[in-house]
Structure 1
Amino acid sequence: MTSAEEKITVDHHEEEGVDLKAQHESVYDILPDWGRPWYKTPHLLHLNLILFFTFLSGIYNGYDNSLLNGLQSMPEWETYFGSPAGAKLGATSNGMLYGNLLALPFTSFFCDRLGRVRTLLIGASVVIIGVIIQTASQNFAMYTVGRFILGFGVLLSTTASPLLIAEVTYPTHRPYVTACSQALYGLGGIIASWTTYGTSNWSNGSSWMWRTPLIIQMLFPLLQLSALYWIPESPRWHVSRGNIAKAREFLLKYHAGGDEAKGGQLVEYELAEITYAIEMDKQREGIQWFDFFRTKANLHRLFIIVYLPVLTQLSGNAVLSYFLHIVLDNAGITSSHQQLIFNGCLSVFNFVIGLVSLTTIEKVGRRRMFLIGSFFNMINYTIFTILSARNAQEDFKNQSLSKGVIAMIFIFYLFFVMAYLAIPTTYMTEVVPFHLRAKGYVIHTFFLTGVLLFNGFVSPIAMGAISWKYYILYCCLNLVNFIVIYLFFPETKRLSLEEVNRVFGEDVLTDAHIIEEVEQAHNGRA
């Protein structure tokens, strides 16, 4: 094989046997025609069904985020823990983030050395421990420690899951399946919000009114652990560890249905593409964190990784997600019963919109959806801020203004969820190459945690001090987001994980020399 840095071009040619040809620019060009939809194709149906269990990471993460909103609206929880507010309330919401920070140094090591599946196993196990401690909490400190441990496990599992999903899915399914795993984050929110609403109606006043929703969270990682034996490891991870045979075995079984005659061409192409990309990585003097600074392309990737948390958490959504009860109080809706119903309805709405967004990810594209989302976030949040200001000035006595505020929350989430719920994780797995993918997730999570800490500590204090005026910050940030996306976020639709390198100006495995090797390998097995 030639040097990974050498670009090879040859004229179009044809040979007997399998003909991949030099004009093929994407793995999409050589996909076999199975003659029926994926859900009627056994090997594809099997793969997608077992991947559902990796989605559970997003579900129990979404459950936890919505759960905190519900618990804060329950008088029994408030009374038991001494009505936490301000910095103390920030410590409660940020307890999980401290666990995230502690897990950061281990995440890349576990994913790259132990594999994606084993990391998922460790993460789910730690989540269970954290849930048990929270459920058994006797005081505020014990509850916060439980959230700390929960955060450690959630980071491991929510990092390993999208990596695994992106690296094992069938080429045409990858953007949809990866995005679906994040859209189901909303399903966790639905379960949590309506569970807290249901237990809040218990009349005995027992602490089990808030302990029950906590312990239900444990069901998801338990179910995940029960299925991990059947979840296959990433073929890219196998290649990185030198297990080419295991990688080919996976591709033949799950991407080609064991049919060498019909799917062998795809298997050889994918295997050669993966091997080429990882061999190119190995030609470097070891994979280091500073690789992000060694090339213009990697600096571009690093900027995207660092900026994505701004898009997903500083668009105004964090204020509405974690401190919805304060927003509703500011809108004049102070009834615990009404707030819990609103939280449940909003969770259902977000989940439905998240599923709808899956239909746009390939048709509209990642970049265009980001642009649309940031533009309408700016418009909608500005209207939301104006209505909130007017409502406060009239002492919340104008019911029409209160209804307008509520309507704008739903309209804001319509565009936010469409653009920012599922697509960012898909985009992350695409723009970062294999050798830096786990490290990229760690860097992304580090900055995400920093943004979340800002939201957790600053937002409740700022909202208590200046109320609706704090929303102006997010109106401005949404304008900045639109400009940054337009200038720096490239399109990645209809490209394999390795082919995305092209949009960053790097070589990809479409060279005729490599394709000839694929032809020879497949014809040799025919």
Structure 2
Amino acid sequence: MGSPHRQHVSSLVPSNPRILTAVLLAVAVVNSATLGYDSSVMNGLLILPSYTEYFHLTDATIGLNNAAVWIGEIIATPIMQIIPDRYGRKKAILIATGITIVGIILQASAQSIAMFVVGRMIIGAGACLSNVSAPPLLGELLPPRSRSFMLGLFFSCFYVGSLLSAVINYGSQNIQSTWSWRLPSLLQLLPSVVAAIFLPFIPESPRWLIVHGEEAHAQEVLAIMNGDEDLDKAAVAAQEIRLVIANEETAYPRNAWREILSGPANRRRLLLLVVFGAMINTLGNFIVSFYLSKILDQAGIQETYKQTQINIILSCWSFAIAILGSFMLDIMGRRLQTLVGLSGMIITLYMIGGLIKHYGESTDTSGIYGTLAVIFLFQGFYAFSITPMTSLYPTEICQYKLRTAGTAIFRLLDSGCGLMASFAMSFAMSDLG
């Protein structure tokens, strides 16, 4: 039965699997870019005197502004598993986009610290929901041969948003009004709007459809993903998925939050999610991601235009290395690649500390730019190993029933450590000298 008339899947969804994979890649790029833009926009704003002077920022309020997005993610964690599992991955991404847009408008129009912080918290909730929903959707649609690269690339595209933000901050630094920081805040809408535009062109997860009794719809999706729209072959694939899900239900009959605590295998998954989630923001990368301006000040690079230029170049470098890391996941393996990255970060972080201590207050240009080179090396090791693993690993180690719950736990630990680092590093960077 070839090329049947579509009864469930939108005609906007491409029939060619290569084109559909490209659209899924675009969805990965824009969803991850939203997260990257949010992280980099704060880095860029802290460089701008118009922002720091408008809010009369202190170490405490700088920490609060950076921490607000993590507070929003933590508050939203209880519903992170419910929305994508009950309403579907696509609707969850759309809901996340709407939440994020509301937060961006509040942040860009902020008249006080309180208004800015509330906007940041709402952005955090939307970003967290998007990050819990998009990777499972990609993992459940993509064929195994391209799944690890695409999921690795998902969070690697964090740097697309980071680069976009850095360029916009560089261009807006000479605006002689509060629009020098309001404009970069407002243009954070771009990735969110593009994400919503792409949604009609992708199908829903076939696994989610089968779980919710929409098998005919799931078969159409599987037929399209196979490239020939043969429903007979798709019915066989749907039956295999149905058997896997049925076996999971038999083995894990209780609520996902209870099941993830039951049995040695699930407890080991939980341990991996907790440890890896805690690692994401405690490896030293938080300094470069959120306090680049302060670390450049301490390294002896204090001009605003130089700092914004470095921010752009660092984003380009990190993005290129993250793509390389995504390609290498299936060649080196997850464990070895992570260990290589961790070893490199440990060595370069100690080197950064020593170089700043020795050259930070000197006029030795070679020493200052040598320090900058090691900062680039440190960020390269992080982008090569941890960045592509961030979206791949939580999705990969959890079976369907536990996938969104496991990802939510991972994000909770990530957000909790991010919240801690936001407050601690604001004071630490001022007091270290």
| Alignment TM-score, normalising by the size of structure 2 | 0.92
Q: Could you list the per-position Cα deviations for residues 209-265 of structure 1 after superposition, in whole angstroms to 9, with x for gaps in the alignment?
A: 11111111112212222232232111111122122222222111122431468xx2x
Residues 72-83 of structure 1 mapped to structure 2, 5 A cutoff: 72-82=46-56
Equivalent residue for 1:279, pick from 232, 246, 251: 246
Is it true that 1:182 corresponds to 2:148 in the alignment? no
Greater C-alpha Rg = 1
Q: Map 1:51-450; keep pairs closer than 5 Å.
A: 51-82=25-56, 84-202=57-175, 205-259=176-230, 264=233, 267=234, 270-283=237-250, 284-392=252-360, 395-450=361-416
- Check conservation: 1:55, 1:161, Cα contact below 8 A: no
CA distance in structure 2 between the aligned counterparts of 1:396 and 1:332, rounded to whole angstroms: 7
Distance 2:282 2:369 in 1: 24
Moved over 6 A (4+): none
Q: Distance in 1 between matches of 2:221 and 2:338?
A: 34
Q: Cα distance 1:314–1:270, how it changes in 2: closer, same or farther (>3 A)?
A: farther
Partners of 1:44 and 1:255 within 8 A in 2: no
Per-residue deviation at 1:444? 0.8
CA contact (8 A) 1:62 1:185 kept: yes
* Letter matched to residue 299 of structure 1: R
Measured after TM superposition, the shift of residue 54 of structure 1 is 4.3
What residue ranges of structure 1 are gaps of 5+ in the alignment? Answer: 1-40, 468-526
**Distance in 2, Cα, partners of 1:425 & 1:54:** 10
Aligned residues: 419
**What is the letter of the counterpart of residue 50 of structure 2?**
E
**What's the CA shift for 1:268?**
5.5
5+ residue gaps, structure 2, are 1-14
Cα distance in 1 between the residues matched to 2:353 and 2:241? 49
Question: CA-to-partner distance for each residue in 1:339-358, whole Å, 9 max, x for gaps?
Answer: 11111111111111112222
Secondary structure at 1:294 match in 2: coil
Q: Report the CA distance between 1:49 and its aligned residue.
A: 1.7
| Matched residue type, 1:238 | L
Quote the Cα distance in structure 2 between the aligned partners of 1:400 and 1:51: 41
Cα distance in 2 between the residues matched to 1:174 and 1:91: 37
Instruction: Supply the AA of the counterpart residue of 2:358.
Output: R
User: In 2, are the aligned partners of 1:331 and 1:396 still within 8 Å (CA)?
Assistant: no
SS of residue paired to 2:144:
coil
- 2:374 & 2:413 partners in 1: Cα distance? 29
Measure, in 2, the Cα distance between the counterparts of 1:75 and 1:407.
26
Q: Could you tell me whether the CA contact under 8 Å between 1:238 and 1:247 is conserved in 2?
A: yes
Segment drifting more, 320-329 vs 282-291:
282-291
Say whether the 8 Å CA contact 2:260–2:270 is kept in structure 1.
yes
Contact 1:120 1:157 in 2 (8 A): yes
TM-superposition CA deviations, 1:366-416 (whole Å, max 9, x none) = 111111111111122122222122225xx3333332122101001111211
Distance (whole Å) between structure 2 residues aligned to residue 49 and residue 257 of structure 1: 18
Maintained 8 Å contact 1:59/1:220: yes
Partner Cα distance (1:439, 1:209) in 2: 40
**Per the alignment, do residues 79 and 347 of structure 1 end up closer, same or farther by CA in structure 2, a change over 3 Å counting?**
same
Determine the C-alpha separation between the residues in 2 that align with 1:163 and 1:285: 21
Q: Comparing both structures, which one devotes a greater share of its residues to helix?
A: 2
- CA–CA separation in structure 2 for the residues paired with 1:116 and 1:133: 26
Alignment partner, residue 22 of structure 1? none
Structure 1 residue 73, shift from structure 2 partner = 0.5
Letter paired with 1:276: L
Q: Which amino acid aligns with 1:258?
A: E
Partner of 2:7: none
Letter in 2 for 1:62: G
Find the aligned partners of 1:282 and 1:402 in 2 and give their Cα distance.
59
| Inter-partner Cα distance in structure 2 for 1:433 and 1:81 | 46
Q: What amino acid sits opposite 1:45 in the alignment?
A: I
Task: Report the RMSD for the aligned CA atoms in angstroms.
Answer: 1.8
Match for 1:304: what amino acid? Answer: L
* CA distance in 2 between partners of 1:447 and 1:66 (Å): 21
SS at match of 2:203: coil
State the alpha-carbon separation in 2 of the partners of residues 46 and 231 from structure 1: 7
Give the superposition deviation at 1:50: 4.4
* Aligned residues of 2:154 and 2:391 also touching (Cα < 8 A): no
Cα distance, 1:260–1:120 mapped onto 2, change above 3 Å: closer
